[in-house]
Amino acid sequence: MKGVLSFGSLVIDNVLVVKRFPSVNETVQVDKFRYTYGGAGANVAVAVRRLGERSSLFAVAGKDFEKSNYKSHLEKEKVDIKGVIPAPFLMPRSFIVSRENSDDQILYYYEDKKGTSKLLFKNAKKAEEISREYEISHFSTGHFEFYYHLLKKKMVNNVISFDPGQETFSYPYRVVRIIPYCHLLFMNNHEAKRIKELLRIKSIKELKGPKLICISLGAKGSILIYKGKTYRIPAVKPKKLVDPTGAGDSHRAGFLAALLKGYSVEIAARIASTVASYTIEAEGAQTSLPTWEQVVKRYEEFFKEKLPKPTLSWEEIKGELLNSP
């Protein structure tokens, strides 16, 4: 059955919007505050489901999963949560300081990171079983030692999508050893530069493993590298700029959902850009995720053309991603 199994995290996001970041020992007025649902794994799962494709989440929850209404939120969004593992400690918290129309600074709190890791490894067999129900496994910011275990042991054998995010700087060696196992690799330009430095390569095209590489350039759009060709994809303009939190996650979700629907990689990248444009129109990663109908409307408004009909079957796309040189 088609769909995306999203590996990552379940997090309570505390978003603070400021006009500028404080310097050391300086106090800055917070203009807006919002308590929202987040975590890269959950963000992708919810966004994929909003776009009409099946999705499941594999992550460790916390003892406040139900009390915070996060569980009911995921159930309402119709995300499969049989891979959500209960835990006796609190869910992680992130404190995101977001500068208007610009970047984020993120503080992250884990009550029991080691306990989370133990629960993941204990449930590795469960992850293997659930992955058989989905065509794509997407790995995002989370526990990379666990991801490496699953991939090295060949416990997950579908199309592998990987977005290492800020872990590229925190734990670069863990990122580098996962890359050879993935078919789709997503990163921003800063992360791509770091990977090139680590591997001592001149071009990201020299990476061994990924068949498709997508590099986000923020407001400048993205670059797509596939089958020896490079595509430049524009950033779709949002109606308003509020908070960039989660835009990367929704971009990845849009890309994967479009591939499942049968779109070429270039059109999928355009669709991904369209999905991401909605996310930054409100505080929080999951607050303004679009439906497929909304994506189609904005795509046609921005690109000044009708959204083409899918031209490929998923089996054709899957075959290319798994077997292309």
Average predicted confidence (pLDDT) for the chain: 93
- Tell me how crowded residue 222 is: count the other CB atoms within 10 A of its CB: 24
Q: What is the pLDDT of residues 217-256, one digit of tens each?
A: 988 999 999 999 999 999 999 988 877 778 999 999 999 9
Q: What pLDDT score does 130 carry?
A: 97
Q: What is the pLDDT of residues 51-68, one digit of tens each?
A: 999 999 999 999 999 999
Going by pLDDT thresholds of 50, 70 and 90, the confidence category of residue 72 is very high
Q: What pLDDT score does 216 carry?
A: 94
State the Cα–Cα distance between residues 103 and 138, nearest whole angstrom. Answer: 24
Q: What pLDDT score does 97 carry?
A: 87
- Please state at what angle helix 314-323 crosses helix 247-261, rounded to 10 degrees: 110
Q: What is the pLDDT of residues 166-203, one digit of tens each?
A: 888 888 899 999 999 999 999 999 999 999 999 999 99
**146 neighbors 120 (Cβ within 8 angstroms):** yes
Predicted structure pTM score: 0.93
Residue 243 domain boundaries: 4-323
Here the CATH number for the domain that contains residue 88 is: 3.40.1190.20
> Is the confidence at residue 283, as pLDDT, over 80?
no
Please give the share of the chain, as a percent, with pLDDT higher than 70.
98
Q: What pLDDT score does 157 carry?
A: 92
Q: What pLDDT score does 46 carry?
A: 97
Token pair, residue 141, equals 């910011």
Token pair, residue 237, equals 């303009």
- For the chain, what's the residue count? 325
- Looking at the structure of the chain, the number of domains it has is 1
> Is the confidence at residue 108, as pLDDT, over 60?
yes
Known catalytic residues are 249
State the Cα–Cα distance between residues 275 and 47, nearest whole angstrom. Answer: 9
Q: What pLDDT score does 187 carry?
A: 96
**247 neighbors 296 (Cβ within 8 angstroms):** no
Q: What pLDDT score does 33 carry?
A: 87
